[in-house]
Structure 1
């Protein structure tokens, strides 16, 4: 077996989810786009039978922290999540590569629990491992280096004190560079490597790995019957997984 992964050295939180639990990913909500924000809050309000919600990262196109908590779109999203958490069940939000600045202030406003690295869960008799999914892109070395930098404590601390205009310029620059970089890379460089997922399932004892990030549905099983599922981006035909 390969050497212990970075994930194996992190003690992921573990929860129990009641069914039906809904899992979604990669909504990329732009707080300045009132229509897309309203579509999500309307969808959330309609999930009256749900008992839990797991969001696998990139809930937002980007998240600046305190400035976005004061934004009308940010307030609307947080209020909708808080209502779900009060009336139906827990909300778990993972960091994505666009909203890694979600923190305790977002938790307080939304009633959600934020998980920077991932989440383990028991649900309907199975053990799940939830991740954003960019962790599986191990051949994209430049991206993995950038990922470590932007999620580091110094960068996160700096983001908390930068003025809003500087944060917005940095976020737009990162988005432009990300789009250009992905377009220039070979498909194999950005592919999610299933063997990494199987290793993590073995290390954690989970049976099912559910991720986002790639924006297209994928399902695989290994020889031991363990399962990897990659969700469509929001709006796609397989964007919502009900457990």
Structure 2
């Protein structure tokens, strides 16, 4: 992708809309929608790196109630011809066609490489990558198993969504959430993951969410690991102008 002059690529992650309650997250949602409305004029593309919702599950004919402002704004931007890309997180693992069909937004379940101008990006949510976190990795295999999803669909949505929302907030193993304090490069699993990926192939930027911490870490002379932070405590986002990548606060 070539970025036109005066255009930028924007990145955001970890809104967790609906947590701890829909009422409590409404001001955050309005702020996020205002940001989307502000950036649409100079956005060449928008990347959303997961956990937009604190819980999301798609039944055959039902999706979770709410989030009308966000979905409407995404539809407006997509309809205007601005590409939006979505990477599922550990709280919205169960996306299954709704974004593609209703919003024309491609959804990715694994990290993916992109090239913008002459810079290569490796982009994903970040959950379950790198060494450690074995409990969550086992749990993720259970949750993403087609049979497990089939069983969950047999729960009435009122019961299934309420149960999942409760577990999302209360159970850190299920949610996959990590300590949101910087642990040092040697203990940050995503830093170790990026360094291993660099042994296979050069990338200029590794961009992830999940950690809820805005981080900009130099991996070597030409590669950086970026974590976007969140829209709960930091309201941070990434912006690439074709030459430089910055983390900004809204």
TM-score, normalising length from structure 2?
0.78
- Structure 2 counterpart of 1:195, from 184, 188, 192: 192
Query: Alpha-carbon deviation of 1:238?
Result: 7.0
Contact 1:91 1:113 in 2 (8 A): yes
- Secondary structure of the structure 1 residue equivalent to 2:52: coil
Give the number of the structure whose residues are more often helix, by fraction: 1
Contact 2:45 2:83 in 1 (8 A): yes
Is 1:20 aligned to residue 8 of structure 2? yes
Distance 1:235 1:125, change over 3 A: farther
Q: Which residue of 1 aligns with 2:83?
A: 90
Is 1:176 aligned to residue 173 of structure 2? no
CA displacement 1:4-40 (0-9 Å, x = unmatched): xxxxxxxxxxxx3634110111111118333332222
- Structure 2 counterpart of 1:45, from 37, 52, 58: 37
Contact 1:24 1:239 in 2 (8 A): yes
* Cα distance in 2 for residues equivalent to 1:172 and 1:226: 39
Distance 1:236 1:204, change over 3 A: farther
* Cα distance in 1 for residues equivalent to 2:177 and 2:237: 25
- Once the two structures are superposed, the pairs formed by residues 1-243 of structure 1 within 5 Å of their partners are 16=1, 18=3, 19-30=7-18, 32-33=22-23, 34-47=26-39, 48-66=41-59, 69=63, 71-73=65-67, 75-136=68-129, 138-168=131-161, 169-178=163-172, 191-203=188-200, 205-234=202-231, 237=234, 239-243=236-240
Query: Alpha-carbon deviation of 1:179?
Result: 7.4
Contact 1:217 1:238 in 2 (8 A): no
Q: Once superposed, what is the RMSD of the aligned Cα atoms? A: 3.1
Query: Alpha-carbon deviation of 1:214?
Result: 0.8
Query: Alpha-carbon deviation of 1:205?
Result: 4.3
* Cα distance in 2 for residues equivalent to 1:148 and 1:194: 23
Contact 2:47 2:84 in 1 (8 A): yes
Name structure 2 gaps, 5 residues minimum: 241-250
Equivalent pairs counted in the alignment come to: 227
* Cα distance in 1 for residues equivalent to 2:230 and 2:138: 24
Name structure 1 gaps, 5 residues minimum: 1-15
